[in-house]
Chain A
Amino acid sequence: MAEPFELYEGILWEPGSGYFLLDRHLARLGASARHFGFEVDLPYVRAELLEFGAELAGPRKVRLELSPDGGLFLEDADVKPSAPVRVARAAEPVDSRDEYLRHKTSRRGVYEKALAARPRARDVLLWNERGELTDTCAGNVVLELDGRRKTPHADAGLLPGTFRAELLARGEIEEAVLPVASLERATRAWFINSVRRWCDLVVEPS
C-alpha cells in the first residue's frame, strides 16, 4: 500500500494586501483534493487562512498542509529575498506522465532524487523524457525567446504554479514546448513562483 501523503500550498501574505493569489491557491488545492480523493472544505480553509493571516505582521510565507481526511495545518515562515536563483541542470529526465509532478504534495521523491544527484546545487532545473524543460523543484521557469516570454507547456509534466497561471491569464507569458537547448538561445531566464515572484535564473555548469 502506498505511503499516505499530504497536499500543501505555500502562500505569500503581505501587510495591507493580505494573501497573494489566494483564489488561485485554493482552486489548485481543490483540484488536487478532487484528483486524489481528499476531503476538503474550501470555505473552511479560506476562513482558517484569513483568521491566521489576521495575526501576522510582516511579509510571511504561509504553509498550508491538507491531510487526506481534510485535516488542516498552517504555519508561517520567513520570505526569502528575490535574489537570483542558481540551479543545476538535472542529471536525469523526469517522467512527464508522473501525476505527482502536477500536484503540490509531500510526495517529493522525484525532486529529492534530482537534488541528490546534484549535491552542490540548491535547486535543479528539470527536463523530461522528450528533452523538454519542465520546472525546478521550487518554482516555474520563464525564458525570453525572440522577445517573448515563454514558459514550459503544462504537458511537459510540471507543477502549474499559481503565479504562472496568473501571468498566463494576464497574457504576460505564453506556454510553449521548450527543448533544453532553448536555454542556449534565451536572452534572459527567470525563476518564478507566487512567493518570490520574478527572480533571475542562473543555470550553473553541471
Chain B
Amino acid sequence: MAGANPRVALLGATGAVGAEILQVLDERRFPLRELLAYASSDSEGEELEFRGSALKLRRVRADEIAACDLVLCAVRDALTDLLPALRAGRARVIDVSGTLEVDPSVPLYLAGVTPPFAASARFVAIPRGVAAGLGVALAPLARAGLLRRATAVTLESASGAGIAGVGELTDHTVQVLNRMSGERSESQVFAQSLAFDSLPQIGPLDRSGATHDELALARVLNRLLPGEAALELTRVRVPTLGGSLAVVHAELAEPLELGALRERLAAQRGISLLPEDELPTPRAALGHDDVAIGRLRTAGARIAFVLALNDLRLGAALGVVAAAETLLG
C-alpha cells in the first residue's frame, strides 16, 4: 500500500453497489491520493460527483488498474478478465462481486463474524447482500455450537439486480398504475415483470434444482459459520426498491428459552434486536447499518426470526471500506 494515501480503482462505479461504496468512502473520510472510477465502455468520459469534484468514468484497462494500490471490485464478471494482470501486479483487491467469495485461498471478511485477515493479504472477498445478514444473525448460534440446521427464505429487493433492476421495477409499476396493464414493456432484467408480483428464483437453475445464487449463498455461509449446520435456502425477488428480508427457522442442538436467544443475538456485533412491537422491514432497514432482527419465537430447540438489512451497505459497501481500512493499516 502506498502510504496512507492510496491510488484506488473502483470497478462498477455507476452501479448500485459502486454508488454506495462512493458514499461510504466519503462518509468515512477514506484517505485517497486518487480515485479512478471504471464503468462499461458506454459510460466512458461521463462524470460522477465525488467529494464535490467531477470524477471522470474510465473504460476498464487491465494495466492501468493493476498499477493502482487498491482495487475495489463491485461488478460481476469484470474481475475474472483482470485477475491474471492483478495477480502479476502489486494492487490489492477487495472483491464484492462474488468472484472470489468461495476461493479458500482468499480471506472472506465480515466484521464481527470472521477473524481479522492479515493486513498483508493481496485479495479479500466481502459477503454480499443477504449472505452478510444471515452470517451476522446465525454466527452467535454457530459459534456456540448450537446451530444444527437453518432454513431461510430471503425476500430480496430489486436493488439486488442493480440500478437496472430498480429502474425496471419502477417503470413497470408506473405502467401498471397508469392502467397500462398488458402493455408493460418487456422484462430485460428479471425473468418476468416484478411489478406487483414476486419471483421465487434468483439466478439460473443448477442441475440440482437450486439456483446459482442459492448455491453461492450456501457456500458463503458455510465459509462464514463454524460447524457443519445444514442449510436450506430459497431466494425470492420481491417488488421493493431497497433493503431485504430473510425469514429464518433454525434447529438447535439443545432447547433455548426466548430470553437466552435474545441475549445471544443482542451480544453479536452488527445485530440490532428490535423491541417486540417493532417489525423488521426492508424500508426501515435502509436507515441503519445493522441487521434488524424481530419476530423471535422459540419452541424447545426450534427457533424462528425475521431479519432485515440494507443489502447495499451492510451487504456490500461497509464491508468493502472496512476491509480497505484494514489493508491501509
Contact = CB atoms under 8 A, between A and B. Distances in A.
Interface string A67-97: 0001100000000000000000000000000
Contacts of A165: 84
Interface stretch (A23-31, A133-141, A146-154): A23-31
Given A26-B83, A42-B76, A43-B216, 10 more contacts: A27-B84, A30-B77, A39-B204, A43-B101, A43-B102, A44-B206, A46-B80, A46-B103, A47-B102, A51-B219
B80 A26 contact: yes
A50 B102 contact: yes
A27 B212 contact: no
14 contacts: A23-B80, A23-B83, A23-B84, A31-B81, A41-B204, A41-B212, A44-B203, A44-B204, A44-B216, A46-B102, A47-B102, A50-B103, A165-B84, A169-B84
Contacts of B212: 41, 44
A20 to B, nearest CB: 13
Interface in A1-31: 18, 23-24, 26-27, 30-31
A50 B204 contact: no
Most buried by B among A18, A27, A70, A71: A27
Contacts of A26: 80, 83
A42 B80 contact: yes
B209 interface: no
A166 interface: yes
Interface of B: 76-77, 80-81, 83-85, 87-88, 97-99, 101-105, 203-204, 206-207, 212, 215-216, 219
Contacts of A41: 203-204, 212
Contacts of B204: 39, 41, 44, 70
Contacts of B83: 23, 26-27
Interface of A: 18, 23-24, 26-27, 30-31, 39, 41-44, 46-47, 50-51, 70-71, 165-166, 169-170
A30, A46, A165 pick with most chain B CB within 10 angstroms: A46
Contacts, number: 59
Contact of B219 (A23, A39, A47): A47
Contacts of B207: 71
B253 to A, nearest CB: 26
A43 B84 contact: no
Given A44-B212, A47-B219, A70-B204, A166 B84 contact: yes
Contact of B99 (A42, A71, A169): A42
Contact of A44 (B85, B105, B215): B215
Contact of A27 (B81, B88, B105, B203): B81
Contacts of A27: 80-81, 83-84
Nearest to B97: A43
Nearest to B83: A23
Which of B80, B83, B103, B204 gathers most chain A CB within 10 Å?
A: B80
Contact of A23 (B87, B104, B206, B215): B87
A50 B84 contact: no
B217 to A, nearest CB: 11
Contacts of B105: 18
A2 B187 CA distance: 29
A17 to B, nearest CB: 10
A43 to B, nearest CB: 4
A166 to B, nearest CB: 7
B80 A30 contact: yes
Nearest to B77: A42
A115 B221 CA distance: 49
A126 B225 CA distance: 53
Contacts of A23: 80, 83-84, 87
Contacts of B104: 50
A59 B239 CA distance: 48
Contacts of A24: 84
Contacts of B102: 43, 46-47, 50-51
User: Nearest 8 CB-CB pairs, A to B?
Assistant: A23-B83, A44-B212, A43-B98, A47-B102, A42-B80, A27-B81, A43-B99, A26-B80
Contacts of A31: 81
Contacts of A44: 203-204, 206, 212, 215-216
Contacts of A46: 80, 99, 102-103
Contacts of B216: 43-44, 47
B16 to A, nearest CB: 18
B249 to A, nearest CB: 26
Given A47-B215, A47-B216, A169-B88, A30 B81 contact: yes
B235 to A, nearest CB: 14
A142 to B, nearest CB: 19
Contacts of B80: 23, 26-27, 30, 42, 46
A47 B102 CA distance: 6
A23 B89 CA distance: 14
